[in-house]
Structures are given as C-alpha cells and as structure tokens.
Amino acid sequence: MTKTLDPKLLELLVCPMTRQSLTYDKERGELISRAANLAYPVRDGIPILLIDEARQLDDRGATPGLPATP
C-alpha cells in the first residue's frame, strides 16, 4: 500500500533550496520544486527534503503526470 502525503503537511513544506512551495506528484512519489528544477523523494509517506537526495528534472522542468512550466 502506497502512503499518501497529508495535504495540510504539503501546505507547510517548502523547497530547502529556494524556500518556495512544492507540488506533490503522487504517481512518482515525489515533491516537485519548479523553482529549483528538482524532485524530492517521498518514502513511506515521509518527505526527504535533502538536496543531495533530490533528482534533477529535465530541461523543461517536466515530470510525467505534471505539466511543464512555460
């Protein structure tokens, strides 16, 4: 069973690099920072907000299931 992220928690979380809001990609289990172009993993319902653990998004800031930024 995949754990989901509490919506109230998501409202409080920010990117550790930019301090801007994050978007939750439920299918990939990641928190997306458009400003930093990074995706932070969520493991067992726990966000891992370490820059060293984040993966770089492609050049357009796209991740499957979410629209690319203009």
Check which CATH number belongs to the domain holding 46 and give it: 2.20.25.10
In a domain, 62, yes or no: no
Q: Which two tokens stand for residue 70?
A: 């203009």
Backbone angles phi, psi at 66, to 5 degrees: -125, 145
In a domain, 67, yes or no: no
Taking a C-beta distance cutoff of 8 angstroms, is the pair 68, 62 a contact? yes
Residue 10, judged by CB atoms within 10 A of its CB (0-12, 13-18, 19+), counts as middle
Instruction: Give the containing element (helix H, strand E) for 12.
Output: helix 7-12
In a domain, 43, yes or no: yes
Per-residue pLDDT of the chain (70 residues; tens, 9 = 90+): 456 788 899 999 999 999 999 999 999 999 999 999 999 999 988 999 999 999 999 865 455 445 554 4
Taking a C-beta distance cutoff of 8 angstroms, is the pair 47, 5 a contact? yes
Which range of residues forms the domain containing residue 28? 7-56
In a domain, 52, yes or no: yes
In a domain, 19, yes or no: yes
In a domain, 50, yes or no: yes
pTM: 0.78
**For the chain, what is the domain count?**
1
